[in-house]
């Protein structure tokens, strides 16, 4: 089908912010993360990927650069793919902030309460809308193609929930680092046929 687009989505590879939620735009990949990204590139070698998309965060861009460099395709940066923002609590690694972030994400995905936010950060309406818009724009630019999209655990899950209605089905199965999975667009309908556990 000419309009069919396949997005191979993944959370960025392991970065130095383990356990610290938020956008954290300057955090870079660990050595293990760079090896993970190289492993993804090998997995995608025969998938016909024509472009790799990343958020503006360093860890997402690094992951995308490693994949794209191996595949010989260009990288495009899309701000809308960024991780959920936590406002004044951005970068806080304390247990209370982690617990609140998890509770907010659960309220978005399980309860459908998108008005919740961490401190003065983004609410679910904002995150879902910007990620869904970014993915729709990417799909619209690549009819009949396969592209890779490197995102973040909370925002990518929230955006795909808005498009595919994932909700409770994926709660308790957070995206692991560097585990690609397919998302499909046929010009009318989004499908998320599988979810990495």
- What is the tens place of the pLDDT at every residue in 87-144? 999 988 899 999 999 999 999 999 999 999 999 999 999 999 999 999 999 999 999 9
- What is the tens place of the pLDDT at every residue in 29-58? 999 999 999 999 999 999 999 999 999 999
pLDDT score at 3: 80
Spell out the SS3 assignment of the chain.
Answer: CCCCEEEEEEECCCECCCCCCCCCCCCCECHHHHHHHHHHHHHCCCCCEEEEEECCCHHHHHHHHHHHHHHCCCEEECHHHCCCCCHHHCCCCCHHHHHHHHHHHHHHHCCCCCCCECCCCCEHHHHHHHHHHHHHHHHHCCCCCEEEEEECHHHHHHHHHHHHCCHHHCCCCCCCECCCEEEEECCCCEECCCCCC
């Amino acid at each position: 089908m000419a309009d069919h687009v396949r997005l191979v989505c993944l959370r960025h590879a392991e970065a130095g912010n383990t356990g610290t939620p938020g956008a954290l735009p300057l955090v870079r990949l660990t050595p293990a993360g760079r090896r993970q990204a190289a492993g993804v590139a090998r997995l995608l070698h025969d998938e016909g990927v024509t472009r790799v998309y990343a958020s503006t965060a360093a860890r997402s861009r690094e992951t995308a650069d490693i994949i794209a460099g191996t595949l010989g395709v260009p990288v495009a940066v899309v701000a809308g793919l960024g991780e959920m923002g936590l406002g004044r609590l951005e970068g806080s690694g304390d247990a209370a902030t982690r617990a609140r972030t998890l509770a907010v994400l659960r309220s978005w995905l399980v309860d459908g309460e998108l008005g919740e936010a961490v401190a003065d950060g983004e609410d679910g309406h904002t995150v879902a809308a910007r990620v869904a818009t970014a993915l729709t724009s990417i799909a619209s630019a690549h009819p009949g193609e396969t592209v890779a999209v490197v995102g973040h655990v909370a925002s990518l899950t929230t955006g795909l929930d808005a498009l595919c209605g994932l909700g409770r089905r994926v709660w308790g199965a957070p995206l692991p680092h560097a585990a690609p999975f397919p998302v499909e667009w046929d010009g009318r309908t989004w499908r998320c046929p599988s979810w990495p556990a």
